[in-house]
Amino acid sequence: MIRFTVITLFPEAVEPYLRTSMMWKAVDKGLADFELVNLRDFGLGPHKSVDDTPYGGGDGMLLRCEPVFAAVEFAKTKDPLAKVILPTPVGKIWNQGMAKSLPEGHYIILCPHYEGYDERIMSIVDYPISLGKYVLTGGELPALVIIDSVVRLIPGVLGGEKSAEIESFSEGDNLEYPQYTRPENFRGMKVPEVLLSGNHGEIAKWRKEHSGKI
């Protein structure tokens, strides 16, 4: 069982995806569990403030330590061994191998927002993760990407032998081969002959030759 607790200022942006399709199916089958924690609940003062201006000057606002530490400590009361993932453009770049090898367990994904976060937040982070060399406005999309890429690999989530076959055939790091469904001829674009042949050996060979690699 893998569990993700997402700490975010925008739970309403994260929740719909986790309630949809394969993510929901994983929960329904007891293979994954998701929880949302609203960082605003841990904000300071009457305005539940979570950010402040940077020391030394500069544009924008930074996430403050107090609400973030309080939210992570809250999430950890249920599971002190939970690991903290921080989506950040300066983290280790996420890839399929990392998605495959993430051990079962409980992960708290802390979604920063605004222009950044107080560097002391790094002291409670186990995995700083970047999705790539570009900057997003917050950690919500990276959180969903990380969750999706991990959960879809859990046996029983995608279902059907076909998906399992593709995974084992591709050893995980190949992209699927091109696939076709009816009609055989669509506006002059024909399905490759070999796929209609019924020759499983030839079909496997064709698929292997046409698999993309990450």
Instruction: Kindly indicate which of the ranges 133-141, 157-165, 170-178, 179-187 contains the residues binding ligand ADE, using the contact rule CB under 6 A.
Output: 133-141
135 binds ligand ADE, rule: CB under 6 A: yes
Closest CA to 114 of 178, 67, 63, 175: 63
Identify which of residues 113 and 207 has a Cβ nearer to ligand ADE in the complex: 113
Closest CA to 153 of 91, 90, 104: 104
11 binds ligand ADE, rule: CB under 6 A: no
Site track for ligand ADE across 142-171, x = CB under 6 A: x-----------------------------
Order of strands, edge to edge, in the sheet holding 62-63?
51-52, 62-63, 116-117
139 binds ligand ADE, rule: CB under 6 A: yes
User: Site for ligand ADE (CB under 6 A): which residue of 22, 65, 89, 153?
Assistant: 89
Identify which of residues 5 and 130 has a Cβ nearer to ligand ADE in the complex: 130
Angle value at C-alpha 76, between 150 and 130, nearest 5 degrees: 40
Taking the C-alpha atoms of residue 128 and residue 88, their distance in angstroms, rounded to an integer, is 6
16 binds ligand ADE, rule: CB under 6 A: no
116 binds ligand ADE, rule: CB under 6 A: no
Taking the C-alpha atoms of residue 192 and residue 121, their distance in angstroms, rounded to an integer, is 54
Identify which of residues 27 and 141 has a Cβ nearer to ligand ADE in the complex: 141
Taking the C-alpha atoms of residue 160 and residue 171, their distance in angstroms, rounded to an integer, is 17
Taking the C-alpha atoms of residue 128 and residue 116, their distance in angstroms, rounded to an integer, is 13
User: Site for ligand ADE (CB under 6 A): which residue of 42, 87, 107, 118?
Assistant: 87
172 binds ligand ADE, rule: CB under 6 A: no
Identify which of residues 53 and 137 has a Cβ nearer to ligand ADE in the complex: 137
- Torsions phi, psi for 17 (to 5 deg): -65, -40
Taking the C-alpha atoms of residue 92 and residue 112, their distance in angstroms, rounded to an integer, is 16
Identify which of residues 135 and 189 has a Cβ nearer to ligand ADE in the complex: 135
Binding residues for ligand ADE (CB under 6 A): 87-89, 130-132, 134-136, 139, 142
